[in-house]
């Protein structure tokens, strides 16, 4: 079992600033605010320019969690696992989920393979 390493939030923000700041069209404009990042090591203050604020807002708006597999068609829950099984209502999601659920029901009922609603 692997242990997930939690990234240092201050280092992540510093790295982001380093990647974005060279492209600031008005570096002399100065900061419009600041962000304080509190960690076990103390507080780090990052000055936020208009360019950095736009870049940060775009990055956050564009972020999609790796676990986001959409919403369940049955209950609207957002906890679909990698097999599109809803942890909230138990239903398999999507067309593939319906096919799998239908086949599982046929097996449960003891129907022969290949039987079902498919056209000949």
Instruction: Give the domain ranges of the chain.
Output: 9-62, 66-115
Does the pTM surpass 0.75? The reply is: no
Looking at 2-114, which runs of residues are DSSP E strands?
Answer: 33-39, 42-48
Q: Is the pLDDT of residue 120 over 50?
A: no
Looking at 1-120, which runs of residues are DSSP E strands?
Answer: 33-39, 42-48
Mean pLDDT over residues 20-37, rounded? Answer: 93
Mean pLDDT over residues 93-108, rounded? Answer: 80
Across the chain, mean pLDDT equals 85
Which has more confidence, 70 or 36? 36
Query: Can you tell me the distance from the alpha carbon of 54 to that of 20, in angstroms, rounded to the nearest whole number?
Result: 10
Query: Can you tell me the distance from the alpha carbon of 72 to that of 74, in angstroms, rounded to the nearest whole number?
Result: 5
Residue the block writes with tokens 């696992």: 81
């Amino acid at each position: 079992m692997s242990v997930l390493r939690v990234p240092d939030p201050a280092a992540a923000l510093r790295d982001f600033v380093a990647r974005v700041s060279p492209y600031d069209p008005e570096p002399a404009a100065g900061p419009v605010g600041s962000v304080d990042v509190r960690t076990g090591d103390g507080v780090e203050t990052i000055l936020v320019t208009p360019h950095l604020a736009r870049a940060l807002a775009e990055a956050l708006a564009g972020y999609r969690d790796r676990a986001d597999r959409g919403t369940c068609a049955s209950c609207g829950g957002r906890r679909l696992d990698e097999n599109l099984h809803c942890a909230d209502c138990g239903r398999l999601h999507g067309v593939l989920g319906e096919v799998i659920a239908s086949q599982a029901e046929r097996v449960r009922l003891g129907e022969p393979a290949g039987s079902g609603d498919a056209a000949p």
